[in-house]
Amino acid sequence: MSTLLLNSEIFRDLFGTAAMREIFSDRALVQRYLDVEAALARVQARLDLIPEEAAVEITGKADAANIDFARMKARTEVVGYPILPLVEQIVAICRDGLGEYCHWGATTQDIMDTADVLQIRDALALIEIDLDAIAERLAALAAEYREAPMAGRTHLQHALPITFGYKCAVWLSGVDRHRARLDEIRPRVLVGEFAGAAGTLASLGENGVAVHEALMAELDLAQPAITWHAARDTLAEVSGLLAMITASLAKIAYDVMLLMQSEVGEVFEPFVPGRGASSTMPQKRNPIACEFLLALAKAVRQHHGAMLEAIVADHERATGPWHAEWHALPEAFVLTAGALAHARQLLDGLEVDTAAMRRNIDTTGGLILAEAAMMALAPALGRQRAHDVVYDCCRESLAKRRAFVDVLAGHPEIAAVMDRAQLAEVIAPERYLGAAPAMVDRLLSRRR
């Protein structure tokens, strides 16, 4: 049994998903290598650079089921790269020496980079599905709770009333930006690589550019303007997007985790019997999904750091930075898939206690509406005097544990311009939500 979390029989589905692991599995990766080699043979045959029967034979044998993985592993450990060992096996299983035309004019990094891009294309499709589902759920929550008052908190303290729908809409705005970013990076990232040993396609002479263009068309990938063997910014852009996605999900998780605290009790992860249970404290309901989201986001950010390091490549082919991508990017994708799965589970069954939200607004005896009182008194007293008077009332309310409205009503300067009933109306939370509901509506209408 593996103790590595992403492959562990126990932990792997807490840190990733089967679908994403399959995209980055050994067998799937080798199949992508073979897909690129077979596509290269086909386009070269069409351009009369290799025999047609060689392309047919290579394509027919380009199946991972035909590969001896134990032998490939052993040879890769000697060579240091997997493509030569793979091509050796293709040559051996093709009839009449036709396999010798496999990998014609290519270099190892051409095949590996292009296979990576094919994997990234499949992986981004999975990410998009989850992001879309999360966005729709957040939109539904924003609409449902657009007018549900709760305490807005700054520096972990009560600030002003907001609505839970407003909070969900803020979460949603970030997710929607990530969805837009995903679409925006595809033209830059889904670009194949075929450039030969030093990136100049010298091995194919005057046919190099034609083969390059035909291969990208065959694989349905965009064509780079120039070789990117040692220009790795686009792959780092992918890991950067994954880092931002998981960080935004972690922000949601952080908020939910804080709102789940016993002293707050406004929002809860979905109840599943036994989930979040303590081995010794039967009353516990720990924020398990939130905890995993925070941990996964940290791990993805670390992998993004490795991808940034890989940009710093020497000359026309890197002596080490490239290898960091081999583990950093696949793991970042698997961890991101795990985070998205936790986020979907969290939000799909999120429990919202609007009564607790309203109750918690009142825990400070109305002090959360101090700004409302100040702004209402400012026209009569002047803004600065209103601030100072209300500030004094806040201190008295806290010190004497008196209701804020009573302290305000008992202050002679305030009583001269506003009675208690008027003050109570001024500091009613439902009357000081500002544009929160309208902002929710604006965001949702723009999405439609």
Catalytically active residues, by annotation: 155, 278
d(CA 97, CA 94): 6
One-letter identity of residue 77? E
How many whole angstroms separate alpha carbon 103 and alpha carbon 112? 12
How many CA atoms within 13 Å lie on the side-chain side of 306?
16
DSSP-H helix ranges across 222-287: 233-259
**Please, are residues 172 and 135 in contact by the beta-carbon 8 Å criterion?**
yes
Q: DSSP string covering 124-180, please?
A: HHHHHHHHHHHHHHHHHHHHHTTT-EEEEEETTEEEEEEEHHHHHHHHHHHHHHHHH
**Integer Cα distance of 119 and 32 in angstroms:** 8
Strand-pair category, 267-268 with 157-163: unpaired
The Cβ-side half-sphere exposure at 227, using a 13 Å CA radius, reads 20
Instruction: Give the count of alpha carbons within 13 A of 23, CB side only.
Output: 24
Q: What residues have CB less than 8 Å from 446, skipping those under 6 apart? A: none
Composition of the chain by helix, strand, coil, percent to 5: 70, 5, 25
279 CA to centre of own chain? 32
Contact partners, residue 134, CB within 8 Å, separation at least 6: 175, 249, 340, 343, 344, 347
Residue among 26, 15, 101 nearest 57 (CA): 101
148/161 Cα distance (integer angstroms):
10
Radius of gyration, alpha carbons of the chain: 30
